[in-house]
Amino acid sequence: MRLLLVEDDTALADALRNALERRGIASDHAANASDAGQMLTVARYAAVVLDIGLPDRSGIEVLRALRGRDDPIPVVLLTARGELGDRIEGLNAGADDYLVKPFAVEELVARLKAVRRRQGAFQGSVLRFANVRFDTDSRDVLADDRPVALSAREMELLALLMRRGGQVVAKRLVEDQLYGLTGKLGSNAVEVYVHRLRRKIEDAGATVRIETIRGVGYMLRATS
């Protein structure tokens, strides 16, 4: 999962991004509404964590712009104001959930998973393709009953391919999901992760293979 964090407090944003990354959730950061709007038009995110109190305009306006173009992306609002009126305004504008600062990272993660399930963005928390099983909650990957040890980015790549099993996944989409707009991307970084993931699942006896579609992207295909 890669999300967009829209928060003008840089220290808080850095702390949140680090805490989320330790839980297997990658994120990009926008410090204001203008940057958030641009990033949401050029990248695909699993969810948005959106602070209401932004320096250039309200996060509610960002939310209304999203819903105004019928974008169903899950949005969790953050605010330092806990009054009932603020919560109602955010929910009426199309927010999926609401958190009042300060909050525990575990609660944010739980709420993100919940809103994505409600909107059907998860195919359940367990992905299956051929004999590979990936529990995205526990982060356990199995080929039959054999565990497969993967890094966080290898897991993210596997989830992306499994959700589109048998379909070509564009290389650009893989880059966005693994690195986003603010990550540093080496010239052959995606190829390196694909090679590592391919080797690890093959060594574990997975009945799938990752095919490279030259000039286009990658496909996960069952071998039996």
106: left (phi over 0), alpha (psi -120 to 50) or beta: alpha
pLDDT at residue 42, rounded to an integer: 78
pLDDT of residue 43: 79
**Average pLDDT for 136-162:** 90
Average pLDDT score over residue span 108-116:
86
Give the mean model confidence (pLDDT) for residues 185-192: 79
Kindly report the number of other CB atoms within 10 A of residue 185's CB atom. 12
Q: What are the structural domains of the chain?
A: 2-118 (3.40.50.2300), 126-222 (1.10.10.10)
Q: Is 0.75 surpassed by the pTM of this model?
A: no
> Is the predicted pLDDT of residue 9 greater than 90, yes or no?
yes
pLDDT at res. 172 = 81
The pLDDT value recorded for residue 115 is 84
Contact 160, 170 (CB under 8 A): no
Q: How confident is the model at residue 183, as a pLDDT? A: 59
Q: Round to whole Å and give the CA distance between 54 and 8.
A: 6
Angstrom distance (rounded) from CA 55 to CA 65? 17
Binning pLDDT at 50, 70 and 90, where does residue 139 land? confident
pLDDT at 129 over 90: yes
pLDDT given for residue 123 in this prediction: 46
State the pLDDT confidence band at 182, using cuts at 50, 70 and 90: low
Average pLDDT over residues 101-122: 80
pLDDT in tens, 35-87: 999 999 877 788 999 999 999 999 999 999 999 998 888 999 998 776 677 77
Q: Whole-number mean pLDDT of the chain?
A: 87
The distance of Cα 153 from the centroid of its chain, to the nearest Å, equals 11
According to DSSP, the residues that pair with 60 across neighbouring strands are none
In this prediction, residue 121 carries a pLDDT of 47
Question: pLDDT over 90 for what percent of the chain?
Answer: 51
